[in-house]
């Protein structure tokens, strides 16, 4: 049985409305959640407010070029994977894009099936990192298998519980707002109710142990030391 790739939240930065709509529909059909913006200033706002798993970046936008935007992103320490989508097809352009911090480079016009394959390749590259096992506060967390063991025993999590825990784990010590965590659940289709985050955090605490998730009342949640 073929393993289905993990659901990702993807940011598309593309001002061509026809191509953008086609990419949006393809990515959604692959089971991912996608946000589409057409300007770099909107992209900056989106990245500041939501923990994305992947960025699809056009290089020529109405308010500037994509490469300086990417360089600034990397200079600020943002390591979100980026796939460049562009009509610039020279080898020198490709080298410049990769040197700026892109993970892959796709030249327009491209086949949508190839885009899906490139997205899957980048996702596998990150899930298959050299050290996919993370130990934290008595938990052994397999990022690739999306599984957790506590004291040698498996801890079953629902897809939503894992999505929330993974968001916190990816940003240790960083406070994530309720709205940011709600965004991680959009990919699961159902409308997010007002108390959904509180319910899932409560369940995670029961399963993982006290102190794993800390609450800053009125502000949000962060990964605790356990």
Range of the domain at 140: 133-223
Domain boundary residue, one of 70, 95, 127:
127
> How many alpha carbons lie under 13 Å from residue 89 in its C-beta half-sphere?
5
Domain boundary residue, one of 92, 127, 162:
127
Q: Do 143 and 206 reside in the same domain of the chain?
A: yes
Q: Do 107 and 13 reside in the same domain of the chain?
A: yes
Please say whether the beta carbons of 164 and 200 come within 8 A.
yes
Q: Do 160 and 92 reside in the same domain of the chain?
A: no
Residues 6 or more apart whose Cβ sits within 8 Å of residue 60? 15, 66, 86, 87
Token output for 222: 């962060």
Q: Do 45 and 90 reside in the same domain of the chain?
A: yes
pLDDT score of 131: 46
pLDDT score of 226: 63
Q: Do 123 and 137 reside in the same domain of the chain?
A: no
Please say whether the beta carbons of 61 and 46 come within 8 A.
no
The model carries a pTM of: 0.58
3 lies in some domain: no
Q: Do 18 and 121 reside in the same domain of the chain?
A: yes
Q: Do 114 and 82 reside in the same domain of the chain?
A: yes
Domain boundary residue, one of 127, 146, 166:
127
Q: Do 79 and 180 reside in the same domain of the chain?
A: no
Q: Do 118 and 146 reside in the same domain of the chain?
A: no
Residues 6 or more apart whose Cβ sits within 8 Å of residue 171? 51, 222, 223
Q: Do 97 and 195 reside in the same domain of the chain?
A: no
191 lies in some domain: yes
Q: Do 202 and 115 reside in the same domain of the chain?
A: no
Q: What is the pLDDT along the chain (226 residues), one digit of tens a residue?
A: 234 445 789 999 999 999 999 999 999 988 889 999 999 999 999 998 888 989 999 999 999 999 999 999 888 888 889 999 999 888 888 888 888 889 889 999 888 988 988 888 777 766 554 445 677 888 888 766 678 888 888 999 888 888 888 888 877 778 888 888 887 766 555 566 778 889 999 999 999 988 889 999 888 998 887 6
182 lies in some domain: yes
212 lies in some domain: yes
Q: Do 15 and 55 reside in the same domain of the chain?
A: yes
Could you give the number of structural domains in the chain? 2
pLDDT score of 65: 94
Q: Return the CATH number at 177.
A: 1.10.10.10
pLDDT score of 120: 82
- Describe the crossing of helices 112-127 and 17-29 by its angle, rounded to 10 degrees: 50
């Amino acid at each position: 049985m073929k393993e289905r790739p993990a659901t990702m939240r993807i940011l598309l930065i593309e001002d061509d409305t026809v191509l953008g709509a086609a990419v949006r529909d393809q990515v959604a059909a692959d089971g991912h959640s996608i946000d589409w913006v057409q300007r770099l200033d909107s992209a900056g706002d989106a990245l500041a407010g939501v923990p994305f798993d992947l960025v699809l970046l056009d290089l020529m936008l109405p308010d500037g070029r994509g490469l300086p935007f990417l360089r600034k992103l990397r200079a600020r320490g943002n390591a979100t994977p980026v796939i460049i989508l562009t009509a610039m097809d020279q080898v020198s352009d490709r080298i410049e894009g990769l040197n700026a911090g892109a993970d892959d480079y796709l030249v327009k016009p491209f086949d949508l099936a190839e885009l899906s394959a490139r997205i899957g390749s980048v996702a596998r590259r990150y899930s298959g990192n050299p050290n996919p096992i993370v130990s934290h506060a008595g938990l052994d967390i397999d990022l690739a298998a999306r599984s957790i063991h506590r004291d040698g025993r498996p801890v079953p999590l629902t897809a939503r519980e894992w999505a929330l825990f993974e968001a916190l784990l990816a940003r240790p010590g960083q406070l994530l707002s309720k709205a940011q965590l709600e965004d991680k659940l959009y990919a699961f289709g159902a409308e997010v109710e007002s108390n959904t985050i509180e319910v899932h955090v409560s369940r995670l605490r029961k399963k993982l142990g006290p102190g794993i998730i800390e609450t800053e009342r009125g502000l949000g949640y962060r990964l605790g030391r356990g």
